[in-house]
Structure 1
Amino acid sequence: MTGRAPAVVSALLLAAVVSAPAAAADQPTPRQITYTVTADRPVSADIYYRDTDPPNWADYSHNPYRYSPRARVDIGPQQPWVRSVVLADPDRWAMVSATSGAGPVDSGLRCALAVDGQVVATGEGPHGALCSLRHW
């Protein structure tokens, strides 16, 4: 039996070494996400954006604001809000939404979501805008 032990150990070590690069290859490459929100008129807006990949849907749905901070900002035609974050799975998690409230004046909110410098989603509305790759 002792003669087989070194062979078994060698086989296990070889399997660990061979599978290590495969496990590393399974890890998603971090992607640079840039969120931009603008408005046609000066307005105070609430902007929620995803800045962290949740580990799974259950954790996200239990507390979405843990992964989606809010920025309360003044924006306008010459005063955009821009935020860059890094996400591993933008197709699943990248999202920005902006609202200015239901006032009588159309603020003309617009958003853009870029992944690695390429704009992949845009949105606009009189009092709110949503940009996401996922249909929520």
Structure 2
Amino acid sequence: MTITSTNGLSGCVLALGALCTSGTSTAVADDGPPLHQVVYTVTTDHPVGVGIYYRDMDPPTWADYSHDPYRYSPRDDIQLEPGAPWVHQAVLADPDRWAMVTVTAVGPPTGAAITLRCKMTVDGVDVDHGEGPRGALCSMRNW
């Protein structure tokens, strides 16, 4: 590239501008909706076996979800212990519609009074929490 100028400074500015723009490109197409960091946390005050369902991805449509909800809501079966929370991070485009975690005690009730708790944050902000003796649900919408 040859830049001719009677003023050396303007030629330098033009050359610098050409160099800065020649190697960069700007995405013009829309890359879709912004994604949100969703964190699900489940805790207990006594050891207990639990089943945890959580929304891990946005279904493309409500029909897709209703025809196969478990495709979008995996289940973890674990032994939950006090002081050792179950934590899962998901990335969702529409957490107002799809973010959800539910925990349910499995097996017959024990003699101990158990409290299961869930908490959900979106982009670092607490958005819901729940608790109960045999289960809990955290969601931004009513199911």
| TM-score between both structures, scaled by the size of structure 2 | 0.76
> Which residue of structure 1 aligns with residue 124 of structure 2?
117
Match for residue 70 of structure 1 among 63, 75, 94: 75
Separation in structure 2 between the aligned mates of residue 76 and residue 114 of structure 1, nearest angstrom: 21
1:131 aligns with 2:138: yes
Counterpart code for 1:123: G
SS in 2 for 1:24: coil
Q: For residues 83-113 of structure 1, what are the alpha-carbon distances to aligned partners after superposition, in whole Å with 9 as ceiling and x for unaligned?
A: 0010000000000000003514432000000
1:24 aligned to which of 30, 51, 62: 30
Contact in 2 for aligned 1:106/1:127 (Cα 8 Å): no
CA contact (8 A) 1:110 1:129 kept: yes
- Cα distance in 1 for partners of 2:81, 2:126 equals 20
- Structural mapping, 1:46-65, within 5 Å: 46-65=51-70
What are the equivalent positions in structure 2 for 1:81-96 lying under 5 Å apart? Answer: 81-96=86-101
Deviation sequence 1:18-64 (CA, Å, 0-9, x none) = xx95x727x32000000000001011110000001000100000000
SS of the aligned residue for 2:57 comes to coil
The SS at the match of 2:30 is: helix
Name the amino acid aligned to 1:118: V
Q: Could you tell me the TM-score, scaled by structure 1's length? A: 0.79
Q: Distance in 1 between matches of 2:126 and 2:67?
A: 30
Structure 1 stretches of 4+ moved >3 Å: none
Q: Distance in 2 between matches of 1:48 and 1:107?
A: 19
CA RMSD, 1 decimal: 1.6
Distance 2:56 2:72 in 1: 6
Q: Higher Cα Rg: structure 1 or 2?
A: 2
Alignment gaps of 5+ in structure 2: 1-26
**2:115 equivalent in structure 1:** 108
Match of 2:11 in 1: none
Kindly indicate which of the two structures has a greater share of residues assigned to helix. 1
| Paired residue type of 1:119 | D
